[in-house]
Amino acid sequence: MKVTRTIPEIRSLTSEWKREGERIALVPTMGFFHEGHLALMRKGRELADRVVVSLFVNPTQFGPNEDFEQYPRDFERDLALAEGAGVDVLFSPEPNEMYPPGHSTAVEVEGLTNGLCGASRPGHFRGVATVVAKLFNIVAPDIAIFGEKDFQQLQVIRRFTKDLDFPVEIVGHPIVREEDGLAMSSRNSYLSPEERRSATCLFRALQKARDMASQGPVSAAGLKEALEKEILATPHTRIDYIFAGDPETLEEQDEVGRGSLVALAVWVGKTRLIDNAIL
């Protein structure tokens, strides 16, 4: 596996592959790999001839009081894991390479970013959309693979890819979970053992939503109340949001049933976790 740090280096590799007619998959990441990331890389291996993984803790998607500095990093371990997953190139630029002095352009997706994580993390999706658009221009992949845990992120990326005519196929990959149902996330490493036990309340709440809607549509208000009870009965938890609505428009629905999206953001101690399910 090659490691590249600069835009000209990765461009020269991918343009060579393109000349040879090879199909390229991009897996954008912020590193600290877990089984969820590795599943995206393996999917890339399955769908394309070449797999590029970008590893960049993108400063512009973190708010001023968020965890950019503390975000977990372990470059050597990540290298070994990516290599084991059959990745061809790991592109790991420095912030200056991505945002040289004078950088002043951003991608802003309207509407879809108003609610859910967009409401609690102002500017977050502007940072995500901008860096992902840059990665699409730098790597020129045929496909790009993202986890469905960040469901709103996936919809935002699908939207700007279409709106800005990027010739990239966006592939969503199902959430990879721990044995007890907790969705895998680099941020799970922040949890104390006791908080880690509490963190399963997100999955339990989603199971409850599935049970409640299994016989037909139910009131969104009733469903949210039941989920809130389930979560708040668990120590160390504070709810950021519970969303129940349309997975395409990300608008709330009064009644939810088959095909609706239930998405959660819950603080467990000082760690903010997200999870979701399509009913």
* Contacting residues toward ligand PAF, per CB under 6 A: 28-30, 58, 61, 128, 131-132, 150, 153
End-to-end CA distance of the chain: 40
**Which residue number, 128 or 139, has a Cβ lying nearer to ligand PAF?**
128
Q: Which position has the token pair 């592939």?
A: 171
Decide whether 89 or 128 has the Cβ nearer to ligand PAF. Answer: 128
CA distances from 110 to 79, 167, 199, 273 (A): 36, 21, 31, 24
Q: What is the smallest separation between the CB atom of 54 and ligand PAF, expressed in angstroms?
A: 7
Which of 209, 263 has the CB closer to ligand PAF? 263
SS3 letters for 90-109? EECCCHHHHCCCCCCCCCCC
Cα torsion at 176, 182, 183, 185 (round to 10°)? -110
**Residue environment code for 243-265, b if the CB has 16+ CB neighbours within 10 A, otherwise e:** bbbebeebebbeebbeebbbbbb
Residue 37 annotated to the active site = yes
Q: Is 11 exposed, middle or buried (0-12, 13-18, 19+ CB in 10 A)?
A: middle
Q: What is residue 203's three-state secondary structure?
A: helix
What's the rounded Cα separation, in Å, for the pair 131 and 139? 12
Q: How far is the CB of 25 from ligand PAF (least distance, A)?
A: 14
Residue closer to ligand PAF by CB (options 63, 222) is 63
Report the residue number, 128 or 176, with the smaller CB distance to ligand PAF.
128
The amino acid that residue 256 corresponds to is V
Indicate the DSSP class of residue 217: -
SS3 211: helix
Task: Output the smallest distance, CB 131 to ligand PAF, in A.
Answer: 5
Give least dist CB 160 to ligand PAF, A.
12
**Of 37, 124, 173, 236, which residue is the catalytic one?**
37
H-helix segments, 94-185: 95-98, 116-120, 124-139, 151-163
Q: How distant, in Å, are the alpha carbons of 52, 120, 175, 196, 213 from that of 277?
A: 28, 20, 9, 20, 12
Select 182 or 218, whichever has its Cβ closest to ligand PAF: 182
Q: At its nearest, how many Å lie between ligand PAF and the CB of residue 189?
A: 14
Residue 29 beta carbon to ligand PAF: minimum distance, rounded to whole angstroms: 5
Give me the active site residues, please.
Answer: 37
